Amino acid sequence: MLYREALNLALDEMMEKDETVVVLGEDVGFYGGNYRVTEGLYAKYGERRVIDTPIAENSIVGTAIGMALGGLRPVAEIMTANFAMLAMDQIVNSMSKLRYMSGGKLLLPMVVRMPQGVVKQLASQHSQSLESMFACVPGIRVFTASDCITAYHGLKTAIMLDDPVIFLEHTLLYFEKFEFSKDSFYNPFKARVLKEGKDLTIFSYLKMVHDVMKVVTQIENTLNISVEVIDVGPLNPLDLETLTNSVKKTKRFVIVEENPKHGGFGATILSAVLEETFYNLDAPPLRIAGEDTPIPYNRKLELLAIPTPEKIYSKIVKWGKENGL
């Protein structure tokens, strides 16, 4: 199934099951969404439940907050995370705070879903990974969807929660095909062990998970080791138990992330895991991340600014040889 189809199926099933679930955003209705995620929903559920909005992100999120307070379960789409900067007042000062400030009397069962990440030559203002901004705000849950299983089950869970959720997708995954089953068990509050190993743990999420998986066999063959790969999944709350249990077993870990290294979310993963596993480690951890630069438009420069499968392979092999692997 296509990644976008899994998201569409989750929305369709939740809207069919619960009439309080509504969708709103730019071009989500008649047009079917910029990435076709809401395709067919407007025709099936009508304009009162699939709502085209003005190009006004702060108003989209503010309207969704009002809907949630009024008893609906809104799913607001922001066309890209880059545009969510216009809605940060509502996200940071209202969406994340109202349940706490009301002493739990107000519920905010709402989801704000958006794609992010480096696409292909969309330049600096449309190629950002901003998960650190969202994950550092107390009061909101932050989920990531790296494939059809996490997209489908994760989005359905997010819609059913009584807490506000930022649901992060990756633009380059929408038209990718992945294995899918409705019966697949996935807990969006837990990290997933995609591949078991005993000598090294690699943590990643969103598109970078797939870049890691492209070269993991090559890494194993070159270093003659067994690698465990973990899709971090939820960024807030972080599933520290699964992450630390893996590192206690393998005694080495690497973090691969697309966002810039300075202030990137990998720093949070590193510090949290390090605090729990310092005396278990046989080597210093390694972070592979984007460069501290706005993403260039030029394709060659763009690839220099982000991790690629080739970079992931070469950096891990170099680090491994330097640290006794």
Kindly list the catalytic residues. 57, 126
- Give 165: exposed, middle or buried? Use CB within 10 Å, 0-12, 13-18, 19+: buried
Q: Which residue has the tokens 């794609």?
A: 115
As a whole number of angstroms, the distance between CA 81 and CA 146 comes to 16
What residues contact 204, with CB distance under 8 A and at least 6 apart?
A: 211, 212, 229, 230, 231, 232, 255, 256, 257
* DSSP H/E element including 271: helix 265-277
Say how many Å lie between the first and final Cα of the chain, rounded: 38
Q: Pull the structure tokens for residue 241.
A: 């138990």
Distance in angstroms (rounded) separating the CA atoms of residues 55 and 252: 46
DSSP 198-226: SSEEEEE-THHHHHHHHHHHHHHHHHT--
